[in-house]
Amino acid sequence: MTRMTSAARLAPRAAPSPRSEIKPGVVAFKRARILEEASSLFFARGYEAATLEMLADRLSATKPFLYTYFKGKSAILSAICETGVQESLAALDRIEATSQSPIDLLKASLREVAEIIVDHHEYLVIYQREMMNLDRGDAQRILRLRHEFDLRIGKLIDDCIRDGSVTIRDAAAMSIWIGGLLSWITQCYRPGSKRSAEIVVDQAVEACLRLVGVA
């Protein structure tokens, strides 16, 4: 067996990075808190006017604390802009794993995505308003995710066409229109407005279904 030299025995071990010492659940919770406060700040002040110092103050933390979880302000913006589509894709995964008819899968998917958009209203508004401030690579990645969402909705519509639930011809085109309609929820809903979240979700789902000929 190879013996360690005295120099090797005495050499200090590399200290583990701060994140390696934190449990994954704690990391996820703290990242979520940062994004929650950042979305509120960016929504109110605008991305360019907001600073990491402002965000750290909101969290009663320091800038180094923020850098533990994100590389910088642009990375925080990217994570906010990506949240809606990532959660929507995860919702499609969960729903597609259930045993339902194609039309019921489509209805359930539209409803859950509409609820996600309402729940993350600020996140979606920030994406629509600040997408030009995203780094090029982040913007392209999010567009690819949005394209994947359109394809997944298109497949659900195709399944409905095959079983006779709907009779439209171009599922791919309708999926893009549905994506646009769902995105419009941010213009129709404001927390605390007279139109409740439940009403907005119901109306959005009904409008999407009418696009594919479901009364």
Query: What pLDDT is attached to residue 2?
Result: 42
Condensed to tens digits (0 to 9), the pLDDT of residues 151-175 reads 999 999 999 999 999 988 899 999 9
Per-residue pLDDT band at 21 (split at 50, 70, 90): low
CA distance 81 to 126: 7
Average pLDDT on 117-135 reads 94
CA angle (167, 187, 32) in 5-degree steps: 100
Please give the model's pTM, rounded to 2 decimal places.
0.83
Cα Rg of the chain, angstroms = 22
> Residue written as tokens 């309609």?
181
From the list 203, 123, 212, the residue with the least C-alpha distance to 175 is 212
More confident residue, 145 or 188: 145
Condensed to tens digits (0 to 9), the pLDDT of residues 80-110 reads 999 999 999 999 999 999 999 999 999 999 9
Phi (first) and psi of residue 59, to 5 degrees:
-90, 0
Query: What pLDDT is attached to residue 182?
Result: 95
Per-residue pLDDT band at 1 (split at 50, 70, 90): very low
**Domains of the chain (ranges plus CATH)?**
22-70 (1.10.10.60), 74-211 (1.10.357.10)
**Sequence-distant contacts of 138-142: CB under 8 A, at least 24 apart:** 138/74, 138/77, 138/78, 138/81, 138/82, 141/82, 142/78, 142/81, 142/82, 142/85
Query: What pLDDT is attached to residue 22?
Result: 60
Residue 10 in this model has a pLDDT that exceeds 60? no
